[in-house]
Every structure is written in C-alpha cells, then in structure tokens.
Structure 1
Amino acid sequence: MKRLFKMAVLPIVLLLAMMLSGCQSNSQEQTSGSAKTNQSLNWKVADFNFKDENNRSFGMDQLKGKVWLADFMFTHCTSVCPPMTGNLVHLQKKLKEAKLPVEIVSFSVDPSRDTPEVLKRFAQKHGADFSNWHFLTGYSFDKLKSLSEGSFKSSVAKPSKGSDQFTHGTNIFLVNKEGVIVKKYNGFQDVPYDRIMKDIKELER
C-alpha cells in the first residue's frame, strides 16, 4: 500500500518542483545581477523628455550634471512596486540626512493608466518627497520599452492574457553626472543602502 501511495504521489511532487523552478527562474530573470552591488557598468542613458507628476516636461536636460537613481514601476502593481517604492522612500530619507544631492526618477511601465495625477496620488500615499523625486509618464509603452531595454538593459512586457500586471525589472540604477549608468542594485529585497550611499559619495567627490 505504501509503495502504491509513493508511486501515486511522485508525479505530483515532480510537477510541483517543475512549477516552483519555473517561478524561481522568472524572478531571477527580473532581478538578474542586482545582487552584485559592486558590479561596474557603463551604459549611456538615451536622451528622453517626458512628463512628471505635475504634468511638466522632465528629462535628461533637467538631470544634466546630477547624480540620479532610477527604477521602473506602475501604480496598479499588486506585488513588487509598493515595497520597492517604500524602499526608495527610506533611501531618500537617508540621502537627505547625509545631505547628498541626488535625484530619483521612477518610470511608469503603464503610461496609459498612470497619468500625472494618478502617479502623484500614488507617490503621496507612499510618502515620497517631490523635491528631488520625479514620477514619469507621457509616452507610449513602446518608447518606454525601448528606453528600459536599450539603456537600462532591463526587460519589460505587457500583461499576459487575463491579467493587468506588467512585467518589469526590480533594480535601482545609479547614474553619474554624465548620464551613464554605473551601478545597479536590488530594489525589492535586501536593499544595500550603505553600499548605495558609499557609491554616491564617490561620484560626488
């Protein structure tokens, strides 16, 4: 009897293992390389000019000569975006305490729903300080995809059938004063705040 039970259970166990393995692979793909906080990059950010949460033009011209951090998010996200935004709020407070003049830019991957007004409400709800944090929209999904994948090497995809959830990376990117991405970090879990602060201080010297 025990032998028959094991034979019946084994295929189910194997199926579950395959499913879990697939989910884990998906997660790793979205955050690939983000754990390597000392990884040096050299990715030039393409020129852009979008709309911020106040419906004002904002782009590379406003970021010229400044160190900035970037991430990708959307307000209807039911998984990674709320905690990522909370992590950035915490990082923003630490940067202000250290008097580090760093800009933060959050690109919405759902520009059709994330109007400036929607982004502003989302940011206020999570406690973001707009003095140096800019939530961007006002572009097509294809333009956002081109920027995300071309400049930040971060994949993004529209929702699958029957879902309203976009797929996007969960990294925080550090951009130097010349508009070049030099580091990326995990923005979802175990955020290396001290490492980020140290890297920013080095760029500000």
Structure 2
Amino acid sequence: MIKKKFLFLLFISFILILSACQKDVEDPLNYKLNSFSYVDQNEQRYGLNELKGKVWIADFIFTSCETICPPMTANMSKLQQEIKKKGIKNVEFVSFSVDPENDKPDVLKTYINKFNADSSQWHLLTGYTQKEIESFAMNNFKIIVQKPKSSDQVIHGTKFFLVDDKGIVKQEYEGVKQVPFEQIINDIQIVQNNAK
C-alpha cells in the first residue's frame, strides 16, 4: 500500500515537473480562431479543419498590391526556406487575399510562382466577399482590412502570425522590414514542442 502511494506521488511529481518545464512564446496573444474554409490557389477547400494539428504562419496580402505585399511575400518565402534549412517539418503557410474579387485561384497561383515558394505547404486563400475578409481579419487576427471605394489598393495589416496546432494565434511579427526570422523559427519550435 505504501509502495503504491509512493509511486502515485512520484508520478504526480513527474507530471508537475514536466508541465513546469513547458514554456510558451513570450507574451502570447492567445486569439482563438473561428472555423473557416475557403478556396486555395489549386481550387481546393482549405481551412481550419485541414490545419488541425499543424503549426502555421499566416499573413494578409493581395496580388495587385503596389507597395508592401511583394516584400511580405518574399519574406514569407525566405522564412519557409530557412525553416526547411533547419530541418523543421510540418509548418504550413497561409496567405489570405484581401482582394478576393480580383484574386481568383489562378491569379493567386501565378503570383506565388514568382517567389520560389513551396506551394505544397503554402495555401493562398480566396472565395469570400470583401466584407467577409474584412470581418474575418478583425474578429480573428485583430487587424484592419479595408478596400476604399476610390482605390484599387487595399489597406491591411503587415504582420506575420504564428498559429498553433489548436488554431490559437500565439504571436505576431513584423512582415515587411526587419523580419525577426530567428525569433519566428524559435517560437515555431516552442509551439511545436508544446503540441507533442
């Protein structure tokens, strides 16, 4: 009887030590995403169900963007390459188009092919209305997306977002200049370790 109690206490102590050792990203955002399912550049449905159990990086772009989107997409491609160089697996990339009326799947496919990206793990999403993406971005990622009637350019946030395997936004990072590639990679590894 004493031996069983001792083993039980030992087991509980082990669990407590393990949970104390598990660390999180610094100052996590912890935004829980609502379910979504849109259409990617291959005309396939893709959303939170397909991302379940995976760690992923998200951003918001559009293909006719004249300013920030090309460098953001180039930086995302660089991040993808750095992750592969380090041998980190099972990281998905998701770019939400903020101009769905113009960014049809074939347009998105042509766009991503310019950036030396692995599109098997990078899904560019469309298939919603302008109003839907504006609401989705604000409600889930806490960023503004707005298409003024007087312009063909769209106002939108420039952050990269790290999302964990349960669909929770853990952190955001600068996506245009001085992208903290090492910090993002480090945080991806923390989030992946926490998922095990």
TM-score normalised per structure 1: 0.80
Q: Does 1:74 align with 2:73?
A: no
1:10-62 Cα shifts (integer Å, max 9, x gaps): xxxxxxxxxxxxxxxxxxxxxxxxxxx94420101111000000001000110
Bigger mean CA deviation after superposition, 152-161 or 188-197: 152-161
* Deviations 1:87-145, CA, capped at 9 Å, x for gaps: 00100001111222210000000001000000000000122211210000011111111
Identity among equivalent positions (%) equals 45
3-state SS of paired residue (1:139): coil
Question: C-alpha displacement at 1:160, in angstroms?
Answer: 4.7
Within 5 A, what are the aligned runs for 1:100-115? 100=88, 101-115=90-104
Provide the alpha-carbon RMSD of the alignment: 1.1
Aligned to 2:85: 97
Whether contact under 8 Å (1:54, 1:117) holds in the other structure is yes
Matches within 5 A, 1:23-172: 38-100=26-88, 101-161=90-150, 163-172=151-160
For residues 27 and 175 of structure 2, what CA distance do their matches in structure 1 show? Answer: 15
> CA offsets per residue over residues 175-194 of structure 1, 9 Å max, x none?
01110001000001100000
CA distance in 1, matches of 2:83, 2:115: 17
* Distance in 2 separating the partners of 1:171 and 1:197: 15
CA distance in structure 2 between the partners assigned to 1:159 and 1:92 by the alignment: 32
Q: 3-state DSSP class of the match of 2:50? A: helix
* Aligned residue in 2 for 1:175: 163
CA distance in 2, matches of 1:127, 1:111: 23
Number of residue pairs matched?
168
* Distance in 2 (alpha carbons) for counterparts of 1:84 and 1:39: 23
Q: Distance in 2 between matches of 1:128 and 1:51?
A: 19
Separation (CA, whole Å) in 2 of partners of 1:114 and 1:79: 17
Provide structure 2 residue ranges, at least 5 long, that are not aligned to the other structure: 1-24
- Assess if the C-alpha contact under 8 Å between 1:39 and 1:184 holds in 2: no
Q: Do the aligned partners of residues 159 and 127 (structure 1) sit closer, same or farther apart at CA in structure 2, a change above 3 Å counting?
A: farther
